[in-house]
Amino acid sequence: MKKFFSSIIGLALPAVMLAQGWPADYGGVMLQGFYWDSFKDTKWSVLEKQADELARSFDLIWIPQSAYCGGQSMGYDDLYWFTNYNSSFGTEAQLRSMIQTFKSKGLGTIADVVINHRKTMSNWVDFPAETYKGVTYKLLPTDICKGDDEGKTLEWAQKNGYELSVNGDTGEDWGGMRDLDHKSENVQKNVNAYLNMLLNDLGYTGFRYDMVKGYHPKYTGYYNAIAKPQFSVGECWDGTPTILNWIKGTAAGEGANNQIQSAAFDFQFRYTVRNACNGKDWSMLASYNENATNWPLISNSDVVENGIYRRYAVTFVENHDTEKRSTADQDPLRTDTLAANAYMLALPGTPCVFFKHWMAHKNDIAAMIAVRKAVGITNTSNYSAGRYDATYFTANTTGKNGRLFVILGNTNAYKPNDDNWKEVLDGYHYKYYMHRNMETAWVDRASGEYKEGFTAKLTAVSMTKDAQLVYTTDGTTPTAKSTKVESGTTLNIDKDMVLTVGMLIGDAVKGVVKREFTFEGGTPRPPFTPYTIKIHVKDPGWDNLNFWCWVEGSDNLCTENKQWPGDAILKDKILQSAGKRTEVMGDTFYYKEYTVKDYDYDIMFIFSNAGSPQTVNLGPFDKDVYLELAEDQPGGNLLVNDVTKKYTNAVNDLNRQQEVTSVKYVNIAGQVSSRPFDGVNLVVTRYSDGTQSTTKIIH
């Protein structure tokens, strides 16, 4: 069966395309508003403060499951559905405030819905009872699939006098928590009420369904037919035929009326981009084995029915399950993050940008999104691959307002084959061209907050090839008398401004665009001066003490030993060269020094006893800190208390403000020196006021 990678023009779509599940011709872009263990960066209160910035580029933001899970959690071990929304990301009040603020800015919030499985409380089968609006909702042992956890749950239940459902699982089994029987009327009652609450009480716009391969797709169709979310996307983590069949399967749900009820993440799109980037072979974006079945949903291949289901494709290049984590390599995109996002944002489907990528490259990604939206690319737009080989790849997408040409890899290897294209973005391993019939002025920088000064390139995208540009920097609309420049002119942006640019054709100003540029304090921040911090850990009484650390929002490990569990400070109770020891207020601390290299260089840590036990993720830290293990240790990873204030106050008391006149070190043998001895030292410091202080250190 021959596969074609070409645009399909004027294709007659089947009646099923009139279905629900995800809007047709949708031009929005989604943000995955978290990453794994992003407990600081994506707190509800932190995200809410970014609403204006996020709403400039995004239309939807997907956040973690937002109810309490019994402790620090990313939300996938869901425990409460109705009554407790004080999660690891904030309180219920903060959640509601964030959702409403987003909504007021035109940004819809997507709930992470985990209904394949559910956590229990004190034993294998006891779910919480929750009363919501006068009705008590509770799942029962008979709501658990009889084959759950490969039969282990049934074995436990029979020994302890409980009965499970008589029904087997309608999808894949998973042993992490109890698999729910979606044939159960009680499960359906609970899920339907839960989804209604998410939409109509908390104010969510739609759903991201977790682990949908765990139950038949018709149940997603049934739940959505009742709840009627504006947006629904399933995590069907598999090859394209399975994903496509899952999408179609949602039409079989009761009440779905044979209409598709949900989109799905286009995992094969992600794998294709990962392979091309990591393998440094751009032809992988277009070249497949003749019998391949792993074509992206957006593709013009008969394997995925010639792209007619691309409306239901939510494309992505990284997520919380594929990213490289601090303690696991996972399946990450290792290179060309910008090119991967440029490819995704130039093609049909609904793109979902990963939060770490946004944090690291927000100005670049915002500029890509601005081009996409100006051209009018939607989830059903047509596209075709152009020329390509291992060193580069090109594609051409037709939007509602014009056309976009993208080249990836060696961007100097090829240019559009006629003179009707105008370059509008140029980045590392990607370029965007707009067709001249767009008839618009363009600025290659998106509106937003910038940290350093930059240059902005002004371009006239017009069939009138000698069109000039006029601009203002005070937000007023330019006229023929405004400052005039040639297309291709660059401006230095080093202060807050509202830049408005138009094309001057004859005496008329056309195709006006506006950019709002801001800097914290109104001007770019000064160059950063690196500095050193010390991370102190109070002696935990372990034989070994390892420091594992990384820079938040990146894959940059700052441990010297790049293999888990990281740098050994203690090994078999012996102090190693990687660390140092000191005493403060009679307590022993082990510490290591780190260099903060940039304004956003926030360092995260895990401490462990040669790997186990280990602490929870700690940080980010950008200054000296003193830490000690919490006395009350719950199950799981160990909690840590920040005791910096207590111990730095003690240190500051010893470090008097008077001028130091002399310092001497005394060892346990009574020897005196101007330098510290190995082992225990008494440090005697004399000050200009005649006083002295004595402290003990271990060098």
Asked if residues 63 and 33 have their Cβ atoms less than 8 Å apart, the reply is: yes
How large is the angle between the packed helices 240-249 and 217-227, nearest 10 degrees? Answer: 40
Which residues is 457 bridged to in the sheet? Answer: 490
Nearest to 305 by CA among 13, 22, 15, 20: 13
Q: What was the pLDDT predicted at 293?
A: 76
DSSP H or E run through 95: helix 92-104
What tokens appear for 659 in the block?
């001028």
Q: How far is 20 from 230, CA to CA, in rounded Å? A: 9
Q: How far is 330 from 427, CA to CA, in rounded Å? A: 27
Q: What was the pLDDT predicted at 633?
A: 63
Q: How far is 409 from 286, CA to CA, in rounded Å? A: 14
Q: What was the pLDDT predicted at 85?
A: 97
| β-strand pairing of 350-354 with 263-265 | unpaired
Q: How far is 472 from 491, CA to CA, in rounded Å? A: 12
Cis check for the bond before 565: say yes or no (omega within 30 of 0).
yes
Asked if residues 619 and 627 have their Cβ atoms less than 8 Å apart, the reply is: no
Q: Distance of alpha carbon 78 from its chain centroid, rounded? A: 20
Q: Which amino acid is at 310?
A: R
What tokens appear for 500 in the block?
């408005």
Nearest to 351 by CA among 265, 427, 276, 274: 265
- Contacts of residue 512, Cβ cutoff 8 Å, sequence gap at least 6: 441, 477, 478, 500, 501, 502
pTM higher than 0.85: no
pLDDT, mean of each 10-residue run, the chain (699 residues): 30 41 96 95 96 98 97 94 96 98 98 98 96 98 97 97 97 94 98 98 98 98 97 93 95 96 96 94 79 84 90 97 85 94 98 96 97 98 94 97 98 90 97 97 97 95 95 97 97 96 96 96 87 95 95 77 93 94 92 91 92 88 92 74 82 50 72 73 66 62
Render 291-328 in DSSP notation, one character per residue.
Answer: T-----TTS--GGGGGGTTGGGEEE-S--TTTSPPSS-
Asked if residues 219 and 193 have their Cβ atoms less than 8 Å apart, the reply is: no
| β-strand pairing of 130-132 with 117-118 | unpaired
Owner of token pair 């979606």: 182
Q: What was the pLDDT predicted at 131?
A: 98
Within 10 angstroms of residue 554's Cβ, the number of other Cβ atoms is 15
Q: What was the pLDDT predicted at 693?
A: 63
Q: Distance of alpha carbon 579 from its chain centroid, rounded? A: 33
Rounded to 5 degrees, φ, ψ at 381 are -60, 150
Q: What was the pLDDT predicted at 16?
A: 37
What tokens appear for 662 in the block?
């002399």
Asked if residues 32 and 64 have their Cβ atoms less than 8 Å apart, the reply is: no
Rounded to 5 degrees, φ, ψ at 660 are -80, 125
Rounded to 5 degrees, φ, ψ at 302 are -70, -15
What is the gyration radius of the CA atoms in the chain, in angstroms? 29
Q: How far is 408 from 386, CA to CA, in rounded Å? A: 11
Q: What was the pLDDT predicted at 239?
A: 79
- Contacts of residue 698, Cβ cutoff 8 Å, sequence gap at least 6: 581, 582, 583, 588, 679, 680, 681
- Contacts of residue 241, Cβ cutoff 8 Å, sequence gap at least 6: 293, 303
**475: three-class secondary structure by DSSP:** coil
Q: How far is 181 from 154, CA to CA, in rounded Å? A: 14
What tokens appear for 293 in the block?
């079945």
Nearest to 652 by CA among 626, 673, 682: 626
Q: How far is 506 from 96, CA to CA, in rounded Å? A: 52
Asked if residues 480 and 461 have their Cβ atoms less than 8 Å apart, the reply is: no
Beta strands in 506-630 (DSSP E): 508-519, 531-538, 545-551, 567-571, 574-575, 580-584, 587-596, 603-608, 618-621, 625-629
- From first CA to last CA, the distance across the chain in angstroms is 73
C-alpha torsion 297→302→306→310, nearest 10 = -10
Q: What was the pLDDT predicted at 266?
A: 96
Buried b / exposed e across 568-589, counting CB within 10 Å, b at 16+? bbbeeeebbebbbbbebeebeb
Rounded to 5 degrees, φ, ψ at 476 are -75, 155
